[in-house]
Chains A and B, each alone.
Chain A
Amino acid sequence: QSPPGQPTVTHCRSYEKETFNCWWKPGPDGGLPTNYTLVYWTEKNNKRIECPDYHTSGPYSCSFSKAHFSMWILYSVIVNASNALGWNASYEYKFDMLDIVQPFPPRNLSLSYEAVETSMPYLIVKWNTPEKADVKTGWMTLVYQVRLREEKQQIWEEHIVEQQTKLKIFSLTPGKTYAVQVRCNADKGKWSEWSEEEYFQIPEVTKKQD
């Protein structure tokens, strides 16, 4: 049995520029029950403040509510591991809140097809803004990326969409099935994960009756 090994703060993330979370990886526990505490401070307030919620974001995590959130400030985080024989602290993990903004993926991706006399047929891709993203007031401005590939191919075709939640894609091959995904980022920050894949088979062209 021994004191605990050194924990490592792995990453922090703000999903909607209003709250944020941090996660850490424990070191070896020394064969004894180990207790973890996380503290943070900022460039404007050197006072160490303990994590308010160790549970909501799962094991080895801390969730910080709005009261702890400041958009334009440098944060420092340290995790401390302790057991009956001693303790060990992580390196200081420092970040700028601007750099950890990474939204949830867009939701409810849906595909439909439009083939009208007056124009080329096209695939309509629609989605909803990600969970908790306040785009209405302008606090979050999202840019989207849609990607599409033929079902049995590997190469994706990518489209950047500024702020709308809809895209028309032309020139798809009748009879082929396509996979589509969408992701987003806020204020040139990190891209979210990709949404679930949705599939759509483009209808065959039916010959007109003479």
Chain B
Amino acid sequence: CLTREVVFSSPICTSGSFQCQVLLSDLFDRAIRLSHYIHSLSTEMFEDIEQQYSEGRQLLIKLMNNCHTSTLNTPENKEQTLQLQHEDLLSLVNKLLLSWYQPLKYLSMKAPNNIVQKVKEAEEHARILQGGIDRISERMLTDLEDFYPQWLGPVDVMMPQGDLHLFPVYQLLHCFRRDAHKIDSYLKILRYHMIHANS
């Protein structure tokens, strides 16, 4: 499977020499292939848990506004996303990615067996994507802040007996799908700004 060294590495040569510079457009293309795939995984995982767990339970009501990343002030539609400064958009992508390391670790231990493999795949690809974001930020001369929303552990929700253990998994997978889609959307708009809008 893809490892960080393979996806974002460049040929052996003296650092900074022009020939060896991976094109910024290639860095974006690789990052977006990853973010697109991570979003696909997140959608499949949420559909899996929905079929297994939420049938007829009206769970959407309990999901109201409790993703651990909802404290981040993120653009919510196309106009807002297009208007945001490039550095701010990249910084948001970075924060969203960082904020999911712990929860994905939790999911890799607590999610049902048929979902765990996809969680681990998402973890691996998120790690590789993080490397890509670091390289893109270097090229864009953007300093990425270290602050990101911390996950404070699984939520406590009063649920009918016997359902308690899966609700935190359901809620996390709902939020992961949402944030994976944000990461993918923001990177695509950023690529458009950096690559196409300037050419």
Interface residues of A (CB under 8 A from B): 17-18, 43-44, 66, 69-74, 94-96, 98, 134, 136-139, 141, 187-188
A-B contact pairs, 26 of them (CB 8 A): A18-B77, A43-B63, A66-B78, A66-B79, A69-B77, A70-B77, A71-B77, A72-B76, A72-B178, A74-B64, A94-B60, A95-B60, A96-B174, A98-B178, A134-B78, A137-B78, A137-B188, A138-B32, A138-B192, A139-B78, A139-B81, A139-B185, A141-B36, A187-B184, A188-B43, A188-B44
Q: How far is the CA of A101 from the CA of B61 in the complex (A)?
A: 20
B194 CB, min distance to chain A CBs, angstroms: 11
A74 CB, min distance to chain B CBs, angstroms: 6
Tell me which residues across on chain A come within 8 A of B43, comparing CB atoms: 187-188
Interface residues of B (CB under 8 A from A): 32, 36, 39-40, 43-44, 60-61, 63-65, 74, 76-79, 81-82, 174, 177-178, 181-182, 184-185, 188-189, 191-192, 196
Let me know if A138 and B189 touch, CB within 8 A: yes
Let me know if B64 and A43 touch, CB within 8 A: yes
Secondary structure of the A contact surface, majority rule: loop
Number of A-B contacts (CB under 8 A): 67
A186 CB, min distance to chain B CBs, angstroms: 11
Across the A-B interface, the 4 shortest Cβ-Cβ residue pairs: A138-B188, A70-B76, A43-B65, A137-B192
Tell me which residues across on chain A come within 8 A of B77, comparing CB atoms: 18, 66, 69-71
Q: A44-B65, A139-B78 are in contact. Are A72 and B189 (CB under 8 A)?
A: no
B187 CB, min distance to chain A CBs, angstroms: 8
Let me know if A98 and B177 touch, CB within 8 A: yes
Q: How far is the CA of A134 from the CA of B81 in the complex (A)?
A: 13
Q: How far is the CA of A96 from the CA of B65 in the complex (A)?
A: 12
Beyond A44-B65, A139-B185, 17 additional pairs, beta carbon < 8 A: A43-B64, A66-B77, A69-B77, A71-B181, A72-B74, A72-B76, A72-B181, A73-B76, A74-B64, A95-B60, A96-B60, A136-B192, A137-B189, A138-B32, A138-B191, A141-B188, A187-B43
Q: How far is the CA of A209 from the CA of B181 in the complex (A)?
A: 59
CB closest chain-A residue, reference B195: A138
Q: How far is the CA of A154 from the CA of B178 in the complex (A)?
A: 39
A19 CB, min distance to chain B CBs, angstroms: 10
Q: How far is the CA of A195 from the CA of B132 in the complex (A)?
A: 38
Q: A98-B178, A187-B184, A188-B39 are in contact. Are A74 and B63 (CB under 8 A)?
A: yes
Q: How far is the CA of A164 from the CA of B77 in the complex (A)?
A: 25
A155 CB, min distance to chain B CBs, angstroms: 27
Tell me which residues across on chain B come within 8 A of A69, comparing CB atoms: 77
Tell me which residues across on chain A come within 8 A of B188, comparing CB atoms: 137-139, 141
Q: A44-B65, A141-B188 are in contact. Are A74 and B78 (CB under 8 A)?
A: no
A46 CB, min distance to chain B CBs, angstroms: 9
Q: Most chain-A Cβ atoms within 10 A of its Cβ — which of B36, B64, B184? A: B64
